[in-house]
């Protein structure tokens, strides 16, 4: 899922200051799962903003809606009426969702309520970890399904740096050493030999470093 967290309320207030009628638009998929932009968080932010604007003596009409996914036109469509009825949209989705709304509604100003942080998983209740950088050329098959591109602080592809201690990364001892995890897992799977294959320097062209990416599926285009 895409993991994000809400921006400070002060920053949000500055962005939406010019508007008197505001729609807070939640997203019921990734950002709901990371407790940042689902229905509950949308209602909580709406309530907090109504109160803080009232204290400031600013009269702002705030409404809220949550769609299943803000990154898909089919679901965005459900919010069309409310978007049209409001002066601006404060989106609780990831950056992709915010831009999907902007693309679909050229006349509506759209602002991000979240900082989109990473592609990750919920490791345990309330703890989210980054797992994938979307490099565009996945090597997980070699690494026992543990990504050194994302989870090794130095992005090393041919084994550990030698600085890890007790399984923790020397760059940040709060982080597991990805290479320790890879070696432990490959050992358990009897696949340690995978590491005999030399991995050449990564070609980052397939990643964001090659510029904005686009994926075209001819078989789904009419």
Partner 1 sequence: MGKTFKAKITLFHCINAFTERQSLSSDHVDVKVVKMPCSGMVSEVFLLKAFEAGADAVTILVCPEGACRYMEGNIRARKRMEKTQSVLDEIGVKGKRLTMHHVNATDPSAVERIVSGILGDLEELGPNPAAL
Stretch that binds partner 1, among 22-30, 36-44, 65-73, 192-200 (CB under 8 A): 36-44
* Three-class SS of 115-136: EEEEEEEEEECCEEEEEECCCC
Q: Which stretch binds ligand SF4 (CB under 6 A): 66-74, 82-90, 173-181, 184-192?
A: 66-74
Cβ closer to ligand SF4: 84 or 139?
Answer: 139
The 3 state secondary structure assigned to the chain is: CEEEEECCHHHHHHHHCCCCEEEEEEECCHHHHCCCCCHHHHHHHHHHHHHHHHHCCCCCEEEEEEECCCCCHHHHHHHHHHHHHCCEEEECCCHHHHHHHHHHCCCCCEEECEEEEEEEEEEECCEEEEEECCCCCCCCCCCCCCCHHHHCCCCCCCCCCCCCECCECCCCCCCECHHHHHHHHHHHHCCHHHHHCCCCCCCHHHCHHHCCCCCCCHHHCC
Work out how close the CB of 4 gets to partner 1 at its nearest, in angstroms, rounded to a whole number: 17
Binding ligand SF4 (rule: CB under 6 A), the pick from 97, 112, 120, 160 is 97
Based on the shown chain and the rule CB under 8 A, indicate whether residue 117 belongs to the binding site for partner 1: no
Cβ(148)–Cβ(181) under 8 Å?
no
Q: Is there binding between residue 127 and partner 1 (CB under 8 A)?
A: no
156 binds ligand SF4 (CB under 6 A): no
State the binding partner of 174 from ligand SF4, partner 1, none, CB within 5 to 8 A by kind: none
Q: Tokens in use for 216? A: 């075209």
CB of 18 to ligand SF4, least distance (A): 25
**Residue 178 near ligand SF4 by CB under 6 A:** no
Q: How far is the CB of 103 from partner 1 (least distance, A)?
A: 30
| 7, 33, 50, 75: residue in contact with partner 1 (rule CB under 8 A) | 50
Binding test (CB under 8 A) with partner 1, winner from 52, 108, 129, 191: 52
Q: How far apart are CA 183 and CA 194, in angstroms?
A: 10
Number of residues that bind partner 1 (CB under 8 A): 16
List contacts with partner 1 (CB under 8 A). Answer: 8-10, 40-41, 43-44, 47-52, 54-56
List contacts with ligand SF4 (CB under 6 A). Answer: 2, 27, 29-31, 69-71, 93-94, 96-97, 132-135, 138-140, 147, 149-150
């Amino acid at each position: 899922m895409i993991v994000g967290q809400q921006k400070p309320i002060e920053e949000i207030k500055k962005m939406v200051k010019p508007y008197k009628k505001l729609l807070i638009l939640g997203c019921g998929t990734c950002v709901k799962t990371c407790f940042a932009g689902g229905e509950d968080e949308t209602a909580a932010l709406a309530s907090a903003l109504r109160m803080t604007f009232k204290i400031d003596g600013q009269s702002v009409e705030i409404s809220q809606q949550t769609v299943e996914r803000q990154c898909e036109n089919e679901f965005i469509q459900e919010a069309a009426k409310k978007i049209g009825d409001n002066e601006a949209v404060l989106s609780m989705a990831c950056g992709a969702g915010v831009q999907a709304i902007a693309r679909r509604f050229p006349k509506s100003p759209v602002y991000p309520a979240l900082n989109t942080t990473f592609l990750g998983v919920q490791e345990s209740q309330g703890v989210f970890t980054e797992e994938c950088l979307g490099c565009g050329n996945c090597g997980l098959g070699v690494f026992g399904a543990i990504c050194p591109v994302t989870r090794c602080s130095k992005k090393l592809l041919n084994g550990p740096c030698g600085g890890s201690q007790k399984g923790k990364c020397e760059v940040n001892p709060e982080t597991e050493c990805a290479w320790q995890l890879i070696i432990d897992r490959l050992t358990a799977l009897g696949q340690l030999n995978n590491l005999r294959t030399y991995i050449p320097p990564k070609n980052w062209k397939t990643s964001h470093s090659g510029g904005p990416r686009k994926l075209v599926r001819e078989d789904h285009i009419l």
